[in-house]
A and B are shown apart, each in its own frame.
Chain A
Amino acid sequence: MRERAMDLYEHQARELLRENGVLVPRAEVVATAEDARAAAERLGGRVVVKAQVKTGGRGKAGGVKLADDPAAAERTARRILGMDIKGHTVHRVMVAEPVEVAREMYLGFTLDRAAGRFLAIASAEGGMEIEEVAAHRPEAVARIPIGPAEGVTEAKAAEIAAAGGLPPETAGTISRLWTVLTAYDALLVEINPLVVTRDGAIVALDGKVTLDDNARFRQPSWDDSGDRARDPLEARAAAAGLGYVKLDGRVGVIGNGAGLVMSTLDVVAGCGARPADFLDIGGGASAQVMADGLSLVLDDPEVRSVLVNVFGGITACDAVADGIVRALDTVALTKPLVVRLDGNNAARGRAILGQLAHPLVHQADTMDGAAARAAELAA
């Protein structure tokens, strides 16, 4: 299992918009200050230097700066590269030509989970946190449902523009943004701000696109090599097909099924310990999957104890126990392991672990008891 939604970097989103006919400022993406200077020279001297990280609030954090000439672009890029913005390290900056803005607006398409369809969101006020505007002055943000069968026709695009208070000339951009959403299986596309320039052009100054990882099978062009998992354990889990999220505590948590693992994290936290990992071995996991999962969590240097919480539905508890035994053949267990098995073949699974008689392997009868024990052993 992989992460299910993939945010693109601004420069990737910009490329999708550009390929689909949305006007964007000329720009280059670079990884060094020297290259930023060269890019600024090519772009005419005066440029905007923008940190490329997958998080909002870059401007507030000092990650977006205007530079008046190539030398200033180099200095600015040097300051921004390596900066930490909400836990994201800046490895690249975008150097873009500045745009003479007459007017800033907001335009996006997002999923309305409750209604089970997409919504256009349009506002005559852009360039700021749209969530804030929506929260404080909901009337300033138009939300227009899109019929799943109809999509965005020319008439619908005009309706969206009018509802959001956008000029009629934005209708083309609205249609093109919808094309990006549907053609690339995106869950969210957003242009903020969408601007009218001094000479009347409609330009996307910044774009955000979130792709639906479930559609990967029909989107072969997606390239996220080396980008998906910044944590090495997450990269390893992705390669092994395990559902994994690295957390910042001390108790490694392994279970079957996303809901049960999430719940186990909460129960561990309720016992006063912080979970170190979320690892879902999935439904019907084999002994090999269990062994891979346990090895992974044991390799997390932060982990002080491991909790395996399995309710066997499709998953067989004896396979889980076999997987634990198999993992211990190859990994020296130096941290305590608490195991709770219930459901399908639980008695057989418990017997296998009983026979193992490993001094660091503890069995627990209940989920709460297992969490309490694992929390205590991690203290």
Chain B
Amino acid sequence: MAIFLTKDSKVIVQGMTGAEGMKHTRRMLAAGTDVVGGVNPRKAGTRVDIDARTVPVFGSVREAMDATGADVSVLFVPPPHAKAAVTEAADARIPLAVVITEGIPVHDAVAFQAYARARATRIIGPNCPGLISPGQSNAGIIPADITKPGRIGLVSKSGTLTYQLMYELRDIGFSTCVGIGGDPVIGTTHIDALAAFEADPDTDLIVMIGEIGGDAEERAARYVADHVTKPVVGYIAGFTAPEGRTMGHAGAIVSGSSGTAAAKKAALEAAGVSVGATPTETAGLVMALLAEPAETPGDAA
């Protein structure tokens, strides 16, 4: 199994016919993703040849879902049109919408997140690399060939740190890696992914990557303490970030004493999460935990 995305997922791409959409649709197909269609109202009825595959273009998400049974949409729609595109996906009641687009206004994100939640559409992102269940499916822009299937679940605010950890732990492999994005308002949170990994029989250990800004990591730490029985290894970026400066991600900003990396690390450690000082040390903690013999019930007493 995997979380949110499996080998049975049928993926459509909103914005497939744009440059980014085409490039990443090609990569998704190469990774084994079942891309069943693109969406572009101006090119409805046409087909696009990508390598050995021919992908039909539909006029709307609804049409694409009716024709193909799609249950995942990946969005490469530019920021001015992103809100309308997510709204359309939610109106079609697609179960999962992965919003790659960077630079969406916060007021738009607030509006479409609430809209999608009310229609039971799970949003991943925006401003995220998407998610991959290695060997099964890849929805987004995560490079597929740096790791393999395995039993680690990974959830991260950062794309490149996701890749770094995937690579460092490539010999062990992953059930699913989810990039939730670094914007202030996102759909799927650390807690959502933790809950799904906890329930996934094919995930043995969870890696959680956070960064400065907000208090999502502190809330995730409380969730781990109360609800997660699997080992969790954490990493937080941004210890050296100065107050009041946005460090690349729109949400990565320390405001006064809130949102600091130190506070997030402390909260995770208090919840029993091992936190690495560097990505490499974090990978080392994972390897050490997985090398330990499984605890027998007697040990806990």
Contacts and interface: CB of A to CB of B under 8 A. Distances in A.
B216 A113 contact: yes
Interface stretch (A67-75, A198-206, A262-270): A262-270
Nearest to B78: A217
Contacts of A269: 239-240
B: interface residue count bin: 35 or more
A217 B103 CA distance: 10
Contacts of A116: 109-110, 113-114, 185-186
Given A4-B246, A116-B113, A117-B114, A259 B237 contact: yes
A313 interface: yes
Interface string B112-142: 0111000000000000010000000000011
A106 B219 CA distance: 28
B245 A245 contact: yes
A366 B242 CA distance: 26
A35 interface: no
B17 interface: no
Nearest to A6: B246
A68 to B, nearest CB: 35
A270 B240 CA distance: 10
Contacts of B201: none
Contacts of B114: 116-117, 147-149
A227 interface: no
A190 interface: no
Contact of A212 (B106, B146, B248, B279): B106
Interface centre among B182, B250, B277 (most CB of A within 10 A): B250
Interface in B224-274: 235, 237-242, 245-253, 256, 261
A181 to B, nearest CB: 8
B106 A263 contact: no
A243 interface: yes
A256 B211 CA distance: 16
Given A4-B250, A212-B106, A256 B278 contact: no
Given A266-B238, A270-B277, A314-B141, A182 B107 contact: yes
A300 to B, nearest CB: 16
B248 A367 contact: no
A313 B31 CA distance: 14
Interface stretch (A10-18, A275-283, A321-329): A275-283
Interface in B87-109: 103-107, 109
Contacts of B80: 217-218
A: interface residue count bin: 35 or more
B59 interface: no
A311 B256 CA distance: 32
B167 A113 contact: no
A114 B247 CA distance: 19
B105 A185 contact: yes
A273 B106 CA distance: 36
Interface stretch (B45-53, B66-74, B156-164, B292-300): B156-164
B32 interface: no
B154 to A, nearest CB: 13
B280 interface: yes
Q: Ordered nearest first, which 8 A-B pairs have the shortest CB separation?
A: A259-B158, A258-B248, A257-B160, A260-B160, A215-B105, A259-B161, A4-B250, A262-B237
26 contacts: A113-B251, A116-B109, A148-B113, A149-B111, A212-B105, A212-B107, A214-B105, A215-B106, A243-B248, A245-B245, A247-B242, A255-B160, A256-B160, A258-B160, A258-B182, A259-B160, A262-B212, A263-B158, A266-B237, A266-B239, A266-B261, A275-B240, A313-B142, A313-B163, A343-B143, A367-B164
Given A116-B114, A259-B237, A342-B164, 12 more contacts: A3-B246, A113-B214, A131-B256, A148-B113, A149-B114, A149-B115, A245-B246, A258-B248, A260-B161, A263-B235, A275-B240, A368-B280
